[in-house]
Amino acid sequence: MTILNIASDGIYNILIVLHKVVSIHGPIHKDKLVELCKPSDVGDVTKIKQTIFRWTQLGLFIESKDGELSLKKDDKDPEQLTKKCRRILFSSSNNENFWDNEGTKAADFTRALAFILSQDIYASKFDNHADVQNLEEQLIRDTDQRILQNNTRWNGFLHWASYLGFLSEDKRRWPDPTVAVAEELPELFGKDVELPCNEFLSRLKERIPVLDGGEYRVSLESRLDSAKWQHSSNSKQLSTSLSRAIWRLSRPGGPIRLEARSDSISSLILQGASGREWANFSHVVASKGV
């Protein structure tokens, strides 16, 4: 278990502080970093050391032979830390043992996230561990491939998934990638002002491969019990979690606008509760400032 075990692998609050110090200070010995970040009224620095170890192992911090830590030039902006963490956690090097329970780096988190986002968010509940445990028991027959089967993993998942932009709360807890998608839009569009829907989805799943059609999502879905998994049989219909995110981002004043053009060859469908079609769109247009 990696970041899902927040008791032994650190929390994002600590990571934010560590990253900011290194980004401002420059290369710094890890012992000095611990001393600088240690609260004056706390003697135990275990969690700080654990966070340094884990995120050095994952590749955010670069450690020299003499214990000096540094950041790559492109990783120094504190405002981009969540985006950088997603990129690190989704990297192929940190997901080589995707279906293993031991020897993983980020695969357990990636697998859990792909599982949660693959569910019908309107038909299932995610408010407590028992809800998700029941889902896994129904859909994943191989007990060795279940991820969130104890409160430790579930609490760790909630901690990191919220920080990384994949959960929201509005009277209930929603698997919701709205924030993660929004943060990727500038690089996703690049110099383009608009994208055909399939190109938009293709670029999006490359950047966030736990979303519809992404590498890790496809791998996860291949192991689900198809007889019990509630999902659309229409290949043009997006999952409920991604549909809700795109709908939220395309509301008036949002960073994108959806257009359905009659002369377009392809289109995608936003899916609401009970398979209801929210909107049919062929192009995604970026608003000013994206």
Question: Whole-angstrom Cα distance, residue 216 to residue 57?
Answer: 21
The residue that leads in pLDDT, 269 or 39, is 269
pLDDT in tens, 234-257: 889 999 999 999 999 999 999 999
Angle between helices 30-37 and 46-58 (to 10 degrees): 130
CB within 8 A of 47, min separation 6: which ones?
Answer: 10, 11, 14
How many CB atoms are located within 10 Å of the residue 133 CB? 17
| pLDDT tens readout for residues 122-165 | 999 999 999 999 999 999 988 888 889 889 899 999 999 999 99
Q: Which domains does the chain have, with CATH numbers?
A: 6-76 (1.10.10.10), 88-175 (no CATH), 178-286 (no CATH)
Q: What is the rounded distance in angstroms from the CA atom of residue 106 to the CA atom of residue 57?
A: 10
- The whole-number pLDDT of residue 29 equals 97
pLDDT band at 261; cut points 50, 70, 90: very high
Confidence band of 55 (pLDDT split at 50, 70, 90): very high
Phi, psi of 128 (to 5 degrees): -150, 170
How distant, in Å, are the alpha carbons of 114, 118, 166, 246, 270 from that of 211? 7, 8, 10, 12, 14
Output the pTM of the full model.
0.95
The model's confidence at residue 42, banded by pLDDT at 50, 70 and 90, is low
- pLDDT of the residue at 102: 73
Q: State percent of the chain over pLDDT 90.
A: 79
* 106, pLDDT greater than 90: yes
| Owner of token pair 């924030």 | 179
| Average pLDDT for the chain | 93
The pLDDT tens digits of the residues spanning 184-241 come to 999 999 999 999 999 999 999 999 999 999 999 999 999 999 999 988 888 899 999 9
Q: How far is CA 286 from the centre of its chain?
A: 22
Residue 170 has a pLDDT of 85
Q: Looking at residue 1, what is its pLDDT?
A: 58
pLDDT of 103 above 90: no
